[in-house]
Amino acid sequence: MNHDVAHLLSRLINGPAPLRQICFAGATGTAPAQAVQVDFPRLEIILEGVLMDAGVTGEATLMTQHDVLYVPAGGWNLPQWQTPATTLSVLFGKQQLSFSVTHWNGLALQNQAKQHVARRGPRIGSFLLQTLHEMQMQPREQQTARLIVASLLSHCHDLLGSQIQTASRSQALFEAIRDYIDEHYAMPLTREAVAQAFYISPNYLSHLFQKTGAIGFNEYLNHTRLEHAKTLLKGYDLKVKEVAHACGFVDSNYFCRLFRKNTERSPSEYRRHYHSQLSDKN
């Protein structure tokens, strides 16, 4: 089974096998031992196999593939794992949705996928959850309940898709900025100047580097300049000050301090060590 959450949601919404029974966990208050109880509403969906749950309103219910259990905020359910089964849990927190795929192999529970996505935009999900909550009073209205659950899952799928697109755009922008630095490293680049070149704020530029590149803007800029400085030191008989200026460092003393910190050698020592190694090889 493909455990990608977006793929699983798509199959539940558009797949050949439709959603089946929508069950409701109406129990509140102190939960029995082994029960699952949280402060947010959630959906428990059987993806494969069968599962007995003692938290369903009225009595323990045997749930099969594509059955769904709605658990309200503060409610609890009590899954009884007996035979191999796989479930998808969707928890509707205030700030984010949490997805978890769990598999019982007959001996132990295995977490096969976990994912989160921020809840943002129109409160479509909240309205649908409220409607599903009210459906507890009419559990036999299964067609309506299935439509509401399908709409909820579609909303979740849209949020995941939006997250993927945002991440993709952020990655593309980060790579474009990195290429720009690689090409213009010798210029007097600043965070503000580069941000202006890409029509974004300096704070967002810093956010891109920390989140997408896991390295700060200044750190990446200095790293790029130092790598070019190493090339010049190894290949050309330039003065240290000339190398510094050619690589975008206005202050040659700062360049020397940064170079030593990065390589544990001064620029001159680095050059002598490199040529010494070449002589030894020859």
pLDDT at 257: 94
Dist. CA 162–CA 1, nearest whole Å: 24
Give the pTM.
Answer: 0.60
pLDDT at 222: 94
- CA distances to 65, 80, 81 from 106, rounded to whole Å, are 17, 12, 8
List the domain boundaries for the chain: 5-165, 185-282
Pick the CATH number of 185-282 from 3.40.190.10, 1.10.12.10, 1.10.490.10, 1.10.10.60: 1.10.10.60
Per-residue pLDDT of the chain (282 residues; tens, 9 = 90+): 667 898 999 999 988 888 999 999 866 567 787 888 888 999 999 999 999 888 886 567 889 999 999 999 988 888 888 899 999 999 998 888 899 999 998 888 888 888 888 877 657 788 999 999 999 888 889 999 999 999 999 999 988 887 766 667 788 888 899 999 999 999 999 999 999 988 889 999 998 888 876 789 999 999 999 999 999 999 888 999 999 999 999 999 999 999 999 999 999 999 988 888 776 665
- CA distances to 53, 163, 205 from 58, rounded to whole Å, are 11, 39, 55
| Residue 2 CB-density burial (10 A; 0-12 exposed, 13-18 middle, 19+ buried) | exposed
Q: Tokens representing 110?
A: 């295995």
pLDDT at 184: 93
Instruction: For residue 115, give the nearest of 99, 104, 128, 130 by alpha carbon.
Output: 99
pLDDT at 189: 92
